[in-house]
């Protein structure tokens, strides 16, 4: 069965329309006044602990349809692969990097790398950041929901989703991102708490439905091979290079807020994971065969909610995705507009204008990526596989002077780590997009990319001592 459009009641459309009208209102509101650059980029570096936690929690959890897709396909192992490693690396980030990042008084990770490894590594990291922060997975999810609610082609839904996603960011910047994230985070929790209650009321206890769930879904590994599990653990290193993490640390009121804020965010991620995991298992138990697992939550909601509540839940799904989408758009635009093009041509155009132009450019590129790889998990996999080997070492070593090499060696490490992973990925996909068992020697591309990156970095350390 394929789903092109769900049957919505007028009450559902009322709630959904109210949500989009609110986004239009925010766009108009933020377009009236031009913010100072410090406000536009980091909201004046005044994030308090509650605001930090709300914006950090919501920003890091936008891939909700991908969470449903992963949970439907692999069961509780999705929590092991998509939850536990991120908690682990986020906690380490809080204790190792958060306070140091806040004290650097920079506005982006490319500016951060500029202070340590110079302009060439900085501009390279800007391009990597643009890819890493690509809004493509999140535009795809918004477009899928719009398609189900209204009924239109995927391309049309992608264009509409992009317009609504960047409107209030165009002039509001990080201030708009911060304010909307506060609202979105509340809607996220409320929506899935409501989903769990309605599922229990309609289908009964989840334990009674487990007979319909494959046994592998109830194991920690989900029937996956060890290399697959290790690969997703390594992709969780995304936490250490994610510009949204650093942006919120840079914007925190002080170093203490940055550290404590991430630790509190981990707790909220865990609580939210519990609810999304329960809903994914319900989806597998009720929807035995689903052609597109990315639709696990929407299809189950279509079968579960009465009018008005169904529309409200879809609004909560939209809010969950937008909470990350707006941040990804903004940090990606900062990377390519301010840290790359403006650094090359500083006298041609202002910093804020270069970011605004980049928002439009990235929107177009993201639409093409979403059409090229119409799977959230494959987009996450592709981006993480090729970018983490190129960006991990310059970010980690930038905090520890004794581990730093010369700018030339670090640039070589970045380019070769990225290049090796990218080439291996292309070879593996030459027989068809997403064929993961065709990689050279059967090794996931992230492994040789990281190995080469580390080897070149170590050679740089040896050259430094010589």
Segment 329-339, tens digit of pLDDT: 888 888 888 88
Q: Which of 317, 341, 372 is the last residue of a domain?
A: 372
Percent of the chain at pLDDT exceeding 70: 94
**CA 110 to mean position of chain CA atoms:** 18
359 and 261 together in one domain:
yes
User: Any bridge partners for residue 47, and if so which?
Assistant: 252
Which domain CATH number covers 196? 1.20.1730.10
Segment 271-296, tens digit of pLDDT: 999 999 999 999 988 887 888 888 89
pLDDT higher than threshold 60 for residue 252:
yes
362 and 426 together in one domain:
no
Helical packing angle, 243-251 and 154-203, nearest 10°:
80
CB 263 within 8 A of CB 94: yes
What's the whole-model pTM score? 0.85
289 and 419 together in one domain:
no
What confidence score (pLDDT) does residue 434 get?
Answer: 45
What confidence score (pLDDT) does residue 153 get?
Answer: 79
Residue 448, domain extent: 375-466
Number of domains observed in the structure of the chain: 2
What confidence score (pLDDT) does residue 104 get?
Answer: 82
What confidence score (pLDDT) does residue 215 get?
Answer: 83
354 and 422 together in one domain:
no
Residue 144 counted as domain residue: yes
Helical packing angle, 255-286 and 64-74, nearest 10°:
50
Give the least confident one: 3-7, 100-104, 356-360, 450-454. 3-7
Residue 239 counted as domain residue: yes
pLDDT higher than threshold 90 for residue 264:
yes
Residue 5 counted as domain residue: no
Q: Output DSSP code: residue 442.
A: G
329 and 403 together in one domain:
no
Q: Output DSSP code: residue 47.
A: B
Identify the band that residue 1 occupies on the pLDDT scale cut at 50, 70 and 90: very low
pLDDT higher than threshold 60 for residue 431:
no
Residue 409 counted as domain residue: yes
Q: Output DSSP code: residue 443.
A: -
Cα–Cα distances (Å) from 323 to 20, 95, 147, in that order, read 14, 25, 19
Residue 270 to residue 87: CA distance in whole angstroms: 8
Identify the band that residue 79 occupies on the pLDDT scale cut at 50, 70 and 90: confident
221 and 143 together in one domain:
yes
Percent of the chain at pLDDT exceeding 90: 31
Closest CA to 425 of 416, 441, 415, 438: 438
3-class secondary-structure state, position 222: coil
70 and 16 together in one domain:
yes
Q: b or e along 163-198 (b: 16 or more beta carbons within 10 Å of the residue's beta carbon)?
A: ebbbbbbbbbbbbbbbbbbebbbebbbebbebbbeb
Residue 252: φ, ψ to 5°: -65, 155
Q: Which of 372, 389, 420 is the last residue of a domain?
A: 372
224 and 365 together in one domain:
yes
330 and 389 together in one domain:
no
Q: Output DSSP code: residue 336.
A: I
Q: Which of 315, 342, 372 is the last residue of a domain?
A: 372
Identify the band that residue 64 occupies on the pLDDT scale cut at 50, 70 and 90: confident
Identify the band that residue 433 occupies on the pLDDT scale cut at 50, 70 and 90: very low
Residue 47 to residue 257: CA distance in whole angstroms: 8
pLDDT higher than threshold 80 for residue 422:
yes
Residue 175 counted as domain residue: yes
39 and 57 together in one domain:
yes
379 and 327 together in one domain:
no
Residue 2 counted as domain residue: no
Residue 4 counted as domain residue: no
83 and 58 together in one domain:
yes
Residue 28 counted as domain residue: yes
Closest CA to 23 of 172, 190, 174, 185: 172
């Amino acid at each position: 069965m394929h789903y092109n459009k769900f049957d919505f009641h007028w009450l559902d459309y009322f709630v959904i329309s109210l949500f989009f009208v609110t986004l239009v209102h925010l766009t108009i509101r933020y377009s009236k006044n031009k913010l100072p650059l410090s406000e536009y980029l980091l909201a004046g570096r005044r994030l308090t602990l509650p605001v930090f936690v709300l914006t950090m929690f919501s920003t890091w959890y936008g891939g909700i349809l991908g969470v449903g897709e992963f949970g439907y396909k692999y069961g509780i192992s999705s929590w092991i692969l998509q939850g536990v490693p991120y908690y682990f690396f986020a906690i380490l980030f809080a204790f190792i990097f958060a306070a140091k990042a806040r004290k650097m008084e920079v506005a982006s990770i490319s500016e951060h790398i500029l202070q340590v490894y110079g302009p060439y590594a900085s501009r390279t990291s800007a391009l990597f950041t643009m890819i890493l922060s690509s809004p493509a997975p999140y535009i795809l999810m918004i477009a899928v929901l719009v398609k189900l609610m209204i009924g239109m082609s995927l391309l049309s839904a992608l264009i509409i989703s992009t317009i609504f996603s960047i409107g209030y960011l165009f002039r509001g910047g990080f201030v708009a991102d911060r304010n909307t994230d506060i609202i979105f985070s509340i809607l996220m929790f409320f929506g899935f708490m409501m989903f769990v209650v309605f599922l229990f009321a309609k289908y009964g206890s989840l334990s009674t439905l487990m007979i319909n769930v494959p046994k592998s879904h109830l194991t920690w590994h989900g029937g996956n091979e060890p290399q697959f599990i290790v690969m997703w653990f390594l992709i969780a290193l995304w936490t250490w290079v994610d510009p949204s993490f650093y942006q919120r640390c840079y914007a925190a009121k002080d170093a203490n807020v940055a550290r404590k804020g991430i630790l509190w965010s981990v707790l909220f991620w865990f609580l939210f994971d519990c609810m999304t995991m329960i809903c994914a298992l319900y989806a597998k138990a009720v929807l035995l065969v689903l052609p597109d697992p990315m639709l696990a939550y929407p299809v189950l909601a279509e079968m579960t909610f009465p009018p008005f509540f169904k529309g409200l839940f879809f609004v909560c799904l939209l809010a969950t995705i937008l909470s990350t989408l707006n941040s990804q758009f903004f940090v990606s635009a900062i990377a390519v507009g301010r840290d790359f093009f403006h650094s090359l041509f500083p006298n041609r155009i202002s910093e804020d204008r270069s970011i605004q132009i980049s928002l439009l450019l990235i929107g177009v590129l993201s639409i093409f990526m979403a059409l090229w790889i119409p799977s959230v998990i494959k987009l996450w996999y592709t981006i993480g596989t090729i970018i983490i080997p190129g960006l991990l070492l310059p970010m980690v070593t930038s905090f520890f002077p004794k581990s730093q090499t010369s700018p030339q060696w670090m640039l070589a490490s970045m380019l070769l780590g990225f290049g090796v992973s990218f080439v291996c990925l292309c070879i593996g996909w030459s027989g068809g997009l997403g064929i993961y068992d065709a990689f050279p020697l059967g090794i996931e591309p992230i492994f040789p990319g990281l190995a080469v990156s580390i080897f070149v970095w170590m050679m740089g350390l040896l050259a430094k001592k010589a």
